[in-house]
Structure 1
Amino acid sequence: MNRRLLGEFSRRTVDALRSALPLPGALPHLEHFLAANVAKEVRKDTLIIRRAAEGQEDDGRQILLELLQSAKEIDRDFLRQTMRFPIRIDIPYQEIDPVRMRRMERLFGAAQRVLAAWPQGERPRQALRAAFARGELERLLAEILGLYAQETLALSRGVRLPALLRPVRELAMRRLVGIMESIARRLAADAARTVYV
């Protein structure tokens, strides 16, 4: 995923939360947390795109399993960074892995497709146009960002909270994911429009 796209996704999410959730005091912490999370996801996406660029005829499933393990190493780095935040996280991989794998499959396949269609000497925008029709690109981006939102919901379940606060967390996170999915659709449309301008 493009760093700017994920950064914009995070920024729009925080902006929407400012008006939708009654917790303005927590937003600075959330903004820093989301920024660290974006950096983590960019690292993962970079690995996926690099593997797609290798163009090996290896078993795609095996490559994705290796990438999934690399993603867990990046998660461990992320957890070390988040120790400065007032939360603790136990990542629920049994819930996250299937969603993450679907997102990785979509990104890996899209990267392979763009790289195969890339006209020599052209810029990334032309490569995207060569690989996808506008509507198809928009749907793909919305799906990838939507899966990212689902992964965020699963990750939130790993945040350690007192038992009395867990139902509140679940409600708040479902609201957050709804906001993120709505933003994902709008951002995907905006990004696709930019590619085809």
Structure 2
Amino acid sequence: MTPVDALVAIDRRILVAYSRRTTDALRAVLPLRIALPRIEPFLAQNVAKEVQKDALVIRRANEALRQGVAPNEAMLRQLFQATREIDSAFLARVRGLPVSIVIRYEEIEPIRVRRIGRLLDAAYAILERWPKGKNGRKALQASFSRAELQQLIHDLMRLYALETQALSRSLRLPALLVPLRDGIARNLYQIMNDVAGRMARDLLATVYRHERN
């Protein structure tokens, strides 16, 4: 497996685990437990969308590295536009679900652009410093200090949570669940952010599991 494919696979595992832990945590909150059968398919499709977007960003970082070009504003704008195409496919997939959604880009764009920029810079750095013949864990160790890596993971997940919160405010729910929508958005972000903090610590322990403090 090439470094770029390995990094895409690592990112996918992290996002899928993040979504699974979030869904498990949502079941413990009564208002969300009531709405969960309606919003769980949305969350599953949403993480699939994020995996696609992240893979796009990581592969663009690899192309830039091979071309000897550092990440820049033009790349950010191109990637953002490309993610809108992924959104279109996402909207088509969720059309048959018990909820519908309108993506309000005026709210989502600044959050998404920040996340794309953070991931683009990080992927570029990781791929640039990937030790020959080593695995992803060694590449992460070579690219960031423990504190930097923990902050990176938490930042990426927090921005994902912010975008998911913004999307959840745009959900068109069945009439009986409409009064719960704002509470769903608030609780969803709080839970996702809490899960992000725990996952950042867990992932850090995994990356440095053979290292002494």
- The alignment's TM-score, normalised by the length of structure 2, stands at 0.86
Q: Distance in 1 between matches of 2:192 and 2:128?
A: 31
Q: Residues 103-145 of structure 1: CA distance to partner in whole angstroms, max 9, x if unpaired?
A: 1111000001101111111111110000011121011100110
Q: Is 1:4 paired with 2:18? A: no
User: C-alpha separation between the residues in 1 aligned to 2:151 and 2:20?
Assistant: 21
Amino acid at match of 1:42: V
> How well do the aligned residues superpose, as a CA RMSD in angstroms?
2.0
Query: 1:91 corresponds to which letter in structure 2?
Result: I
Residue 165 of structure 1 deviates from its aligned partner by 6.3
Aligned to 1:181: 193
TM-score between both structures, scaled by the size of structure 1: 0.93
The 8 Å contact of residues 91 and 101 in structure 2, kept in 1 or not, is answered as yes
Question: Which residue of 1 is the match for residue 27 of structure 2?
Answer: 18
For structure 1, the 5+ residue unaligned runs are none
Identify which of 84, 97, 101 aligns with 2:113.
101
Structure 1 CA distance, aligned partners of 2:28 and 2:80? 35
- 67-76 or 30-39: bigger deviation: 30-39
Which letter does structure 1 place at the counterpart of 2:61?
A: A
Secondary structure of the 1:84 match is: coil
User: Aligned with 1:19: secondary structure?
Assistant: coil
Shift of 1:157: 2.3
What is the CA distance between 1:26 and its match in structure 2? 3.5
Deviation at 1:32, TM superposition (A): 2.3
- Could you give the per-residue CA deviations for residues 158-179 of structure 1, whole angstroms, max 9, x where no partner exists? 2235899666311221111001
Alignment of 1:132-147 (within 5 A): 132-147=144-159
Higher mean alpha-carbon deviation, 140-149 vs 27-36, is at: 27-36
1:110 to 108, 122, 130: 122
**Identity fraction in percent:** 50
- Map 1:1-197 onto structure 2 (within 5 A): 2-54=11-63, 55=65, 56=67, 57=69, 60-161=72-173, 168-197=180-209
- 1:161–1:35 CA distance, 2 compared to 1 (3 A): closer
Deviations 1:11-61 (A, max 9, x none): 111111111133435324433221211111011000100000011316611
What is the alpha-carbon distance in structure 1 between the residues aligned to residue 173 and residue 41 of structure 2? 19
- In structure 2, relative to structure 1, the CA distance for the partners of 1:154 and 1:83 (3 Å cut) is same
Supply the distance in 1 between the matched residues of 2:71 and 2:157 (Cα, whole angstroms): 26
